[in-house]
Amino acid sequence: MAARHDQTTDPQLLDSLLQARRGTAFFARKLNELSDSDLDGPSLLPGWTRRHVTAHIGYNARAIARLIEWAATGVETPMYASTEIRDHEINFGATLPPIALRHLFDHSAVHLNVEWRDLPEEAWHHLVKTAQGRTVPAEETVWMRTREVWTHAVDLDNGATFADIPVPVLARLLKDITSAWATRGTDTGLQVLVTDQQPELKLGDAGADAPVLISGPLAGVLRWATGRGTDGVTASQSGAALGAVPAAPKWI
């Protein structure tokens, strides 16, 4: 039987799908390196074990697959019935036996990949609604999944770092985060400077007279921006170093 391929021929979308699939494979590798007892250990997310992270990634794939089904059929199928149900789902998933939890991740990832693969070319432009209420074309689901699998692979706290994440993913996620800050007005007096890009990338409150400037390489700045640590970044104001790096504004 001949192999089946993505129905889309859009090169940019195909490249995005590749990044999402690579992220899924990376998460799978870090998960498979953990023993069953390791799953009980803490993740980098406060209050969540590695079990919670794994359950979240599994159920997230199912939720995004529902959006692709919506795009394909025109029948509205929300990601989650409610925030409470989403949270209950994750907490329940975290109690599953290790083999069931691993199967949840594996099977949901395959299901989503098949839904993406079989979505007709024109359906990628059909509109769906995210859990946050944003109306987006179905192609946005690829980025939604990409940032989840790459970031939460780090959250498994199993040796993965933000430096393992591809630069295009890091750069887009940082712009997403700083845009969210700007929309909410929480970046007032704050700028970030990415020092390992050419040219250097500066984001944040461009109108501030004496902004707090967070500087560092892209991976370090993103680690700080997502609330996962300050290693590798420095803070200064008016050219003078600050004693401590302030916490980043919330972005989700």
Specify the CATH number for the domain of residue 23.
Answer: 1.20.120.450
CB 149 within 8 Å of CB 20: yes
Domain ranges, residue 85:
11-160
Round to whole Å and give the CA distance between 65 and 142. 10
Give the per-residue pLDDT at 201: 87
pLDDT tens per residue across span 31-65:
999 999 999 999 999 999 999 999 999 999 999 99
Round to whole Å and give the CA distance between 240 and 252. 30
CB 181 within 8 Å of CB 204: yes
Q: Is the Cα dihedral 157, 146, 24, 148 positive or negative?
A: positive
Distance of CA 109 to the CA centre of its chain: 15
Buried b (16+ CB within 10 A) or exposed e, 142-176: bbbbbbbbbbbbbbbbbebebeebeeebbebbbee
Beta bridge partners of 135: 129
Asked if residue 251 is part of any domain, the answer here is: no
Domain boundary among 136, 160, 184: 160
Specify the CATH number for the domain of residue 193.
Answer: 3.30.1050.20
User: Is residue 115 located within the same domain as residue 147?
Assistant: yes
User: Is residue 136 located within the same domain as residue 27?
Assistant: yes
Give the per-residue pLDDT at 3: 57
User: Is residue 81 located within the same domain as residue 181?
Assistant: no
Length of the chain equals: 252
Give the per-residue pLDDT at 19: 97
Asked if residue 247 is part of any domain, the answer here is: no
Q: Which two tokens stand for residue 122?
A: 């024109």
What pTM does this model have? 0.93
Round to whole Å and give the CA distance between 160 and 153. 7
CB 25 within 8 Å of CB 36: no
Give the per-residue pLDDT at 206: 84
Low-confidence ranges of the chain (pLDDT < 50): 1-2
